[in-house]
């Protein structure tokens, strides 16, 4: 039996308790300063407020003020934070993590560095704690499906294959399948980009609805496959954008030194497939496609964190700088650049289809 300390009690971090517990490990679930309501509920034996499942008998909950206790004797740390919590995690948590304990990171995103490079989070973390092994997760995984023991297949990746395999052995079960890899750039870059491109694919949903006169927020709820409930979905343009997304993800992964072939499997196409069908990014793209500008969409989705917006803004800026330096051709990323204009210049959604396709 090992001790697993999960820091960050959002849906995905919390759900990872399930396979580890099924393998007989002790699970400690620590909330960030924003998670106090979740920790209070779990400590009281109530359902996890966002995952809407009980953690009784699965994990012991800790407030962030109890972090020291939660880290005492731990064997694996899971960094269960969103990209918006990276600075907090880097400044407050990284330095207090014990030595020789591998850190599994589920954070999706990339940083634009001062030298104009784009960096995946595991490499950022490692630059601050070079003594630790950071292992990142990529691939299609909806949190509550994992918690409910649905068949799930993902990548774990890191620079040290022995550490990757150690962490894999802690989490792998008969329903949670893990492919080990050392290509952190390909896996993490895909994991970040799929949020961006899920917005792109969803634009087609909203565009088709707009043609039928739907320009408001109807049908935009928390359920899967949101959309105007009285309309049949339209797939040809979604599929064309899905394919364009796969092309651009591949180009960016290869530009950053990763193996582009991985984009065609779980970390790219597979994860995009899952992300398109529900959640905030789908709602974002659908509303934009219906003709709402981004300021208005932010009001409608008020309070929802939009990782897609962060990653699109960052990648587009990276590409502009790289283009100026002669290191990138913006014509290879037309969908990314159009998404950036829609968000950051509030340009109307009028996709330039002729710019898409294999060149």
Q: Length of the chain, please?
A: 359
Work out which of 139, 158, 258, 289 binds a second copy, going by CB under 8 A.
139
Work out how close the CB of 254 gets to a second copy at its nearest, in angstroms, rounded to a whole number.
Answer: 11
Work out which of 69, 116, 145, 317 binds a second copy, going by CB under 8 A.
145
Asked if 231 touches a second copy (CB under 8 A), the answer is no
Strand 60-62 and strand 110-112: the pairing is unpaired
Residues in contact with a second copy, shown as a per-residue x/- string from 256 to 295 under the rule CB under 8 A: ------xxxxx-xxxx-xx--xx-----------------
Among residues 234 and 300, whose Cβ is nearest to a second copy?
234
Distances (CA, A) of 17 to 29, 137, 240, 358: 8, 15, 37, 42
Work out which of 82, 107, 152, 286 binds a second copy, going by CB under 8 A.
152
Q: What is the DSSP letter of 96?
A: G
Based on the number of CB atoms within 10 Å of its own CB, is 302 exposed (0-12), middle (13-18) or buried (19 or more)? exposed
Judged by CB under 8 A, the stretch of 24-32, 159-167, 284-292, 347-355 that binds a second copy is: 347-355
Number of residues that bind a second copy (CB under 8 A): 52
Largest separation between any pair of C-alpha atoms in the chain: 60
Asked if 179 touches a second copy (CB under 8 A), the answer is yes
Tokens of 18: 């399930």
- Judged by CB under 8 A, the chain residues 189 through 228 that form the site for a second copy are 204, 207-208, 223-225
Based on the number of CB atoms within 10 Å of its own CB, is 44 exposed (0-12), middle (13-18) or buried (19 or more)? exposed
In the chain, the N- to C-terminal Cα span, in Å, equals 53
Query: Taking the alpha carbons of 93, 133, 145, 209 in that order, is the dihedral positive or negative?
Result: positive
Asked if 62 touches a second copy (CB under 8 A), the answer is no
* Tokens 């509303």 sit on residue: 287
Residues in contact with a second copy, shown as a per-residue x/- string from 106 to 135 under the rule CB under 8 A: ------------------------------
54 in helix, strand or coil? coil
Among residues 84 and 277, whose Cβ is nearest to a second copy?
277
Contact 103, 133 (CB under 8 A): yes
Asked if 237 touches a second copy (CB under 8 A), the answer is yes
Work out which of 101, 112, 243, 330 binds a second copy, going by CB under 8 A.
243
Work out which of 98, 213, 229, 357 binds a second copy, going by CB under 8 A.
357
Work out how close the CB of 154 gets to a second copy at its nearest, in angstroms, rounded to a whole number.
Answer: 9
Among residues 235 and 329, whose Cβ is nearest to a second copy?
235
Asked if 70 touches a second copy (CB under 8 A), the answer is no
Asked if 95 touches a second copy (CB under 8 A), the answer is no
Work out how close the CB of 146 gets to a second copy at its nearest, in angstroms, rounded to a whole number.
Answer: 7
289 vs 203: CA distance, rounded Å: 4
Asked if 13 touches a second copy (CB under 8 A), the answer is no
Contact 339, 196 (CB under 8 A): yes
Contact 211, 203 (CB under 8 A): no
- Residue 84's φ and ψ, nearest 5 degrees, are -75, -10
279 vs 11: CA distance, rounded Å: 12
List of residues contacting a second copy (CB under 8 A) = 139-142, 145-146, 150-153, 177, 179, 204, 207-208, 223-225, 232-240, 242-244, 246-247, 250, 262-266, 268-271, 273-274, 277-278, 351, 353-354, 356-358
């Amino acid at each position: 039996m090992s001790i697993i300390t999960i820091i960050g009690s959002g849906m995905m971090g919390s759900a990872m308790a399930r396979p580890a517990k099924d393998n007989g490990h002790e699970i400690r679930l620590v909330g960030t300063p924003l998670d106090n309501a979740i920790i209070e509920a779990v400590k009281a034996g109530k359902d996890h407020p966002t995952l809407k499942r009980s953690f009784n008998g699965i994990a012991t909950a800790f407030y962030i003020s109890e972090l020291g206790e939660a880290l005492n004797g731990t064997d694996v740390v899971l960094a269960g934070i969103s990209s918006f919590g990276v600075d907090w995690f880097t400044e407050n948590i990284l330095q207090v993590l014990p030595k020789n304990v591998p850190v599994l990171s589920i954070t999706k995103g990339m940083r634009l560095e001062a030298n104009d490079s784009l960096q995946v989070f595991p490499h950022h973390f490692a630059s601050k704690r070079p003594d630790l092994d950071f292992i990142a997760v990529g691939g299609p995984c909806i949190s509550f499906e994992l918690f409910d023991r649905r068949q799930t297949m993902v990548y774990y990746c890191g620079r040290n294959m022995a550490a990757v395999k150690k962490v894999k052995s802690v989490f792998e079960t008969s329903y949670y399948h893990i492919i080990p890899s050392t290509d952190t750039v390909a896996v993490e870059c895909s994991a970040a980009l799929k949020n961006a491109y899920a917005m792109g694919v969803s634009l087609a949903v909203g565009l088709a609805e707009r043609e039928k006169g739907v320009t408001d927020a109807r049908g935009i709820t928390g359920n899967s496959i949101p959309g105007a409930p009285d309309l049949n979905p339209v797939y040809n343009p979604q599929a064309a954008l899905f394919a364009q997304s796969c092309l651009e993800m591949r180009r960016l992964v290869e530009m950053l030194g990763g193996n582009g072939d991985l984009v065609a499997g779980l970390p790219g196409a597979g994860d995009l497939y899952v992300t398109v069908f529900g959640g905030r990014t789908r709602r974002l793209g659908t509303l934009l496609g219906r003709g709402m500008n981004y300021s208005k969409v932010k009001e409608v989705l008020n309070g929802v964190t939009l990782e897609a917006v962060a990653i699109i803004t960052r990648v587009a800026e990276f590409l502009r700088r790289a283009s100026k330096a002669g290191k990138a051709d913006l014509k290879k990323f037309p969908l990314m650049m159009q998404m950036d204009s829609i968000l950051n210049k509030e340009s109307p959604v009028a996709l330039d289809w002729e710019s898409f396709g294999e060149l």
